[in-house]
Amino acid sequence: MSRIPIRFRLILPFALAMALVLAAMGFFIYERVGHELLRSVDQSLAAQLTESAGHVSGRGGLIDRDSSDGPTIAQIEHADGTTTSSVPFTLPPLLDRRALRRGLSGRMRLTEEVAGLHDQWRLATQPVRLASGPAVLVVGHSLAERDETLDRLSREFLFAAPAALLLAVLAGYGLAAAALRPVEAMRRRAAVISAATPGHRLPVPPARDELAALAVTLNDMLDRLEAAFEHERRFVADASHELRTPLALLRAELEVALRRPRGRDELEAALRSAAEETERLVRLAEDLLLIARADEGRLPIRREPTQVRELLERVCSRFAARADDLARTLRVEPTNGTVVEADPARVEQALGNLVENALHHGAGAVTLSARIDDGRVELHVMDEGAGFPDAFVDRAFDRFSRADDARSAGGTGLGLAIVTLIASAHGGRAKAANRPGGGADVWLELDEQPF
């Protein structure tokens, strides 16, 4: 059944239901017409019976041929089973002994086959009293016309019902095809949509129905997919550029070092420069691997109760020498014994990226602090520099994003992107803002663990 096209799956139940309705309607009409025709015959027999009862003791015949409607027979049958005054006179007894006894007790109607006559006959009886004793007056009317009418009705129905069923099925198929035409239009459009045809969308039917809602939903999905494809293309392009720059520098350093014989100091300087570019490549590869794991939902997180102050002080110790070289100050504000349920290594990595970003792009003192807001712990890294450009704040956490879009200033543009991935893996998020007094404030949110 599942392999049958949906149009036929819609039509088959409809055709079956229509056939049942037509059959039930035909049976009802047949029975109703048959009943009405029989009632008409009974009315005619009642009139004939009354008229014939008046002729029983007279000289006239039992049946007035001029007033009778169709083939009619009549007979008087005595209590002992003998008959008199039969019309036609060759008519055999119409009632058997059982029917005769019932006829003597009152009026009745029955349908019988009469010997020597064709078709079925509708008989009506009435008890009468003759000089010779009690008897039964029997009047009969042929049912041939009724049977012929019913046969004609059944033949007409057997011809009309299949025709009506065929017309209904064709009309239903047309309606189903019209209803599914928007689906076919969407299918044809979807067949040509690919990554090479950005901006193409499915046609939305004008009617505000389920198909229109489906088209809108699918178009929204295409918007998200196109944005994801564009994001991936940009990510691959930026990653390729970031990898090409240190590789080109590394190659250039090695080529220069091998171009002619050099002294120990020159070779050592070339190797140190090559080592720096290699370290940059290693960091970039690690960052890309972490992002790939996060995109696949496989970023490993090992949660444990962690003292926030110890976490901030370890990050501060890591960058103390770097801050001294830049004549900058690193400090940690009191945290009041705050504890979080988090992966200390990942959170320390995120905070390290924020401190690295503040030392590289900011100015003045760098402050690490913790705040509690509505059951969430916010770990802040603030500096006293110029802050973020207003147009850059909303995309500060995008991959390979830089405020000046310059690639010569160092860094990979992945630091803040990794921060937001680590925050998301903990069920939180990362945010950035400019401080009212100047400088940038970047933080990540984590759940507080009550103790």
165 assigned to some structural domain: no
Query: Whole-angstrom Cα distance, residue 128 to residue 62?
Result: 13
Q: What is the DSSP string of 287-353?
A: HHHHHHHHHTT------EEEEHHHHHHHHHHHTHHHHHHTT--EEE---TT-EEEE-HHHHHHHHHH
User: In this structure, what CATH number is given to the domain that contains residue 312?
Assistant: 3.30.565.10
Same domain? 287 vs 311:
no
313 is a domain residue: yes
DSSP 221: H
Residue 245, amino acid: T
Residues 19 and 133 in one domain: yes
- State residue 407's pLDDT score: 39
What confidence score (pLDDT) does residue 451 get? 44
Q: What is the pLDDT of residue 22?
A: 92
Q: Are residues 249 and 336 in the same domain?
A: no
- Asked if the structure places residue 188 within a domain, the reply is no
- What residue numbers bound the domain in which 57 lies? 9-148
355 within a domain of the structure (yes/no): yes
**Where a domain ends, among 148, 166, 185?**
148
Q: What is the rounded CA–CA span in Å between residue 256 and residue 246?
A: 15
- pTM reported for the whole predicted model: 0.51
pLDDT in tens, the chain (451 residues): 567 777 777 888 888 999 999 999 999 999 999 999 999 998 988 888 888 887 776 555 677 655 555 578 888 989 888 888 888 888 888 888 888 889 888 888 888 888 778 888 899 999 988 888 899 999 988 898 999 999 999 999 999 999 999 998 898 888 888 888 888 888 888 888 877 777 888 888 887 888 888 888 988 998 888 887 877 777 677 667 667 767 777 787 777 777 777 777 777 777 777 787 777 777 777 777 777 777 666 677 888 898 989 999 999 998 888 889 889 999 998 877 788 888 888 898 889 889 988 888 888 999 999 988 877 889 999 998 888 887 777 777 777 666 655 434 455 667 788 888 888 888 888 888 898 888 899 999 887 554 4
What's the pLDDT at 65? 57
pLDDT given at position 130: 85
Q: What is residue 153's predicted lDDT score, i.e. its pLDDT?
A: 93
Question: Residue 160 domain-assigned?
Answer: no
Question: What DSSP string describes 353-379?
Answer: HHHHHHHHH--S-EEEEEEEETTEEEE
Residues 358 and 268 in one domain: no
Neighbours of 243 (CB within 10 A): 16
- The CATH number that applies at residue 65 is 3.30.450
Please report, for the domain that includes residue 285, its CATH number: 1.10.287.130
- Domain closes at, from 295, 313, 342: 295
Q: Are residues 261 and 343 in the same domain?
A: no
Long-range contacts of 108-115 (CB under 8 A, 24+ apart): 109/42, 109/45, 111/143, 112/140, 114/73, 114/140
**107, part of any domain:** yes
Residues 54 and 26 in one domain: yes
Question: How many whole angstroms separate alpha carbon 128 and alpha carbon 306?
Answer: 118
> Is residue 191 included in any domain, yes or no?
no
- Last residue of some domain: 119, 148, 177? 148
Strands 83-87 and 133-142: unpaired
Cα distance between residue 126 and residue 62, in whole Å: 13
Report how far residue 174's alpha carbon sits from residue 177's, in angstroms, rounded to the nearest whole number: 5
Give the Cα separation of 169 and 94 in Å (integer): 52
Residue linked to tokens 């030392």:
359
Same domain, 343 and 287: no
Considering the domain architecture, whether residues 54 and 140 belong to the same structural domain is answered as yes
Q: Tell whether 103 and 236 lie within a shared domain.
A: no
Q: Is residue 175 part of a domain?
A: no
Number of compact structural domains in the chain:
3
